[in-house]
Chain A
């Protein structure tokens, strides 16, 4: 069979299928073997990238943000730092504390890694290069992401340690809360593409959904940051308050697995954001050269990963009441409003035969302005309450007299 360079990934699959069928195997068995091989390659490649390269990258970038050099001893530019860390962790003694629930304690790190690896099943890397084009892709992401939350709760609960339990219960409160705006906002790409499948969502993005739904993209980004539990929302493992939170009793490679899962998850966020809002593998020339699509996808993903690191090294940690207020009193109502207005405005634009993208852009700008006004009004009301000034007029005057704002 001819190798089709315009469709390399589809061709490879066909070649392998023909080869295995030629060996006299049944069709279902061939499909099974291909699935296992593909899954092995996907999991191996992504985990190696995360465990070795991403940890180095994050430490290097973080060091630059803090005006340090970062790892630079092991190998060129310290590139083998991840490998050195892994060897060190393998050689560390593995301690299971007395009184811990052993089964749950040992399963938790495995589940943490499994959930993040599982997310990559529905990520389309390039045309024809996707693990599983599920027709419920978006829901699958939410469901498998929830397993990661479960692993954190399991780890904290089973450790028989009060700090770990505190971390786990903060997780109950925080991570699951942020799933609400995330699920709601995922309705927007689903509506615009008319499908929950990741490939259909990428195909639907003639214009990036970042331009059609910037507010939805921002809400999704914030809530997925909270899902990872990274710095602005890292109070599940706040070092200065509860030592290390849920993974305090873990040592050796079990701790390493939580570490890998966390780094890998923040990279996965970059990939998911790319697929849902940045057009996935699409870019100039990617239709004709699918390999170029793969390059675009990786470039966009690493850019988004950089943004995640940027946020991590810029913002201080927020308190738990502030996190919960941000989620329930700001992001959730905002997500509800976005879903409603997007649905109605898109339908109206279609009926009036208006261009889709500008209408959505105008809607989003209006939403942003209204949000800012609402926040200002709220802040003013709060300031009045704090300063004990009951009348609005007096508040304005006092505010002007005290200083700016």
Chain B
């Protein structure tokens, strides 16, 4: 098994290097003549006003929160799915119960209006 992960450990840095090399080639070959206008924030010609990193609409974070809950619970289901062939019917039904509770959570978020885009 460790052999297999060694391949991943080799592939990911190679992926990084393959992405970095054309960028480095660009640094060597491309012209570099920065000036104030060129380096300013691009907003289709309009001058940018105020801070960029401002407080943002809370809606996005609510979705992210629901995502975290669901993703963690979905990961719990994978061992159940892998062992599926060895499970009895009642064990499968227990998994279904877990999914139903998950669905209850979704229903709660839905009723509370967390899924509405305001």
**Which residues of the partner chain A approach B31 to less than 8 Å between Cβ atoms?**
93
A87→B20 CA distance, assembly (Å)? 15
| Chain B residues numbered 19-75 whose CB sits less than 8 Å from any CB in chain A | 19-20, 22-23, 25-27, 29-34, 36, 38-44, 48, 52-53, 56-57, 59-61, 63-64, 66-67, 70-71, 74-75
Set A173, A332, A343: member contacting B60, Cβ < 8 A = A173
| Chain B CB within 8 A of A256 CB | yes
| Chain B CB within 8 A of A161 CB | yes
A340/B63 contact (C-beta < 8 A), A110-B20, A163-B43, A187-B81 known: no
Judging by beta carbons under 8 Å apart, are B19 and A113 in contact?
A: yes
**Which residues of the partner chain B approach A184 to less than 8 Å between Cβ atoms?**
74, 77
> Quick one: closest B residue to A244, CB to CB?
B42
**Which residues of the partner chain A approach B48 to less than 8 Å between Cβ atoms?**
161-162
Judging by beta carbons under 8 Å apart, are B30 and A93 in contact?
A: yes
A340/B117 contact (C-beta < 8 A), A95-B38, A121-B11 known: no
> Quick one: closest A residue to B102, CB to CB?
A336
A162/B52 contact (C-beta < 8 A), A86-B22, A194-B84, A336-B102 known: yes
Judging by beta carbons under 8 Å apart, are A117 and B96 in contact?
A: no
**Which residues of the partner chain B approach A99 to less than 8 Å between Cβ atoms?**
41, 52
Judging by beta carbons under 8 Å apart, are B18 and A194 in contact?
A: no
Q: How far is the CB of B78 from chain A (nearest CB, A)?
A: 6
Judging by beta carbons under 8 Å apart, are B52 and A183 in contact?
A: no
A118/B82 contact (C-beta < 8 A), A257-B23, A344-B96 known: no
Judging by beta carbons under 8 Å apart, are A117 and B11 in contact?
A: yes
A183/B38 contact (C-beta < 8 A), A160-B52, A194-B85, A351-B89 known: no
A339→B95 CA distance, assembly (Å)? 10
| Chain B CB within 8 A of A218 CB | no
Judging by beta carbons under 8 Å apart, are A91 and B29 in contact?
A: yes
Judging by beta carbons under 8 Å apart, are B18 and A113 in contact?
A: yes
Set A160, A165, A249, A333: member contacting B103, Cβ < 8 A = A333
**Which residues of the partner chain A approach B8 to less than 8 Å between Cβ atoms?**
118, 121, 131-132, 134, 140
Q: Is the interface of A mostly helix, strand, loop or mixed?
A: helix
Judging by beta carbons under 8 Å apart, are A44 and B18 in contact?
A: yes
Q: How far is the CB of A323 from chain B (nearest CB, A)?
A: 9
Judging by beta carbons under 8 Å apart, are A39 and B106 in contact?
A: no
Set A116, A117, A131, A191: member contacting B81, Cβ < 8 A = A191
A336/B103 contact (C-beta < 8 A), A47-B18, A118-B15, A121-B7 known: yes
Judging by beta carbons under 8 Å apart, are A133 and B41 in contact?
A: no
Number of A-B residue pairs at CB separation under 8 A:
234
A35/B6 contact (C-beta < 8 A), A161-B42, A165-B52 known: yes
A339→B48 CA distance, assembly (Å)? 49
A197→B29 CA distance, assembly (Å)? 44
| Chain B CB within 8 A of A169 CB | yes
A133/B26 contact (C-beta < 8 A), A325-B117, A340-B96 known: no
**Which residues of the partner chain B approach A196 to less than 8 Å between Cβ atoms?**
78, 81-82
**Which residues of the partner chain B approach A161 to less than 8 Å between Cβ atoms?**
41-43, 48, 52
| Chain A residues numbered 74-124 whose CB sits less than 8 Å from any CB in chain B | 86, 89-99, 109-118, 120-121
Judging by beta carbons under 8 Å apart, are A114 and B16 in contact?
A: yes
Judging by beta carbons under 8 Å apart, are B16 and A190 in contact?
A: no
Q: How far is the CB of B38 from chain A (nearest CB, A)?
A: 6
A170→B57 CA distance, assembly (Å)? 11
A157→B36 CA distance, assembly (Å)? 21
**Which residues of the partner chain A approach B99 to less than 8 Å between Cβ atoms?**
336, 339-340
A113→B17 CA distance, assembly (Å)? 10
Set B67, B102, B109: member contacting A176, Cβ < 8 A = B67
**Which residues of the partner chain B approach A361 to less than 8 Å between Cβ atoms?**
none
A243/B74 contact (C-beta < 8 A), A256-B22, A325-B115 known: no
A42/B11 contact (C-beta < 8 A), A93-B31, A169-B60, A344-B96 known: yes
> Quick one: closest A residue to B118, CB to CB?
A321
Judging by beta carbons under 8 Å apart, are A187 and B77 in contact?
A: yes
| Chain B CB within 8 A of A295 CB | no
| A228-265 to B contact mask, C-beta < 8 Å, 1/0 | 00000000000000010000110011101100000000
Judging by beta carbons under 8 Å apart, are B18 and A89 in contact?
A: no
> Quick one: closest A residue to B64, CB to CB?
A172
| A261-292 to B contact mask, C-beta < 8 Å, 1/0 | 00000000000000000000000000000000
A110/B16 contact (C-beta < 8 A), A90-B26, A160-B52, A343-B84 known: yes
Q: Can you show 8 pairs from A to B with CB atoms below 8 A apart? A: A32-B6, A90-B26, A117-B14, A139-B75, A173-B64, A321-B117, A336-B102, A351-B89
Question: What are the 7 tightest A-B residue pairs by CB atom distance, in nearest-first order?
Answer: A117-B15, A321-B117, A113-B19, A253-B26, A39-B11, A114-B15, A39-B10
Given A114-B19, A132-B7, 5 other A-B residues pairs in contact with their CB atoms under 8 A: A39-B7, A90-B25, A113-B19, A115-B15, A169-B56
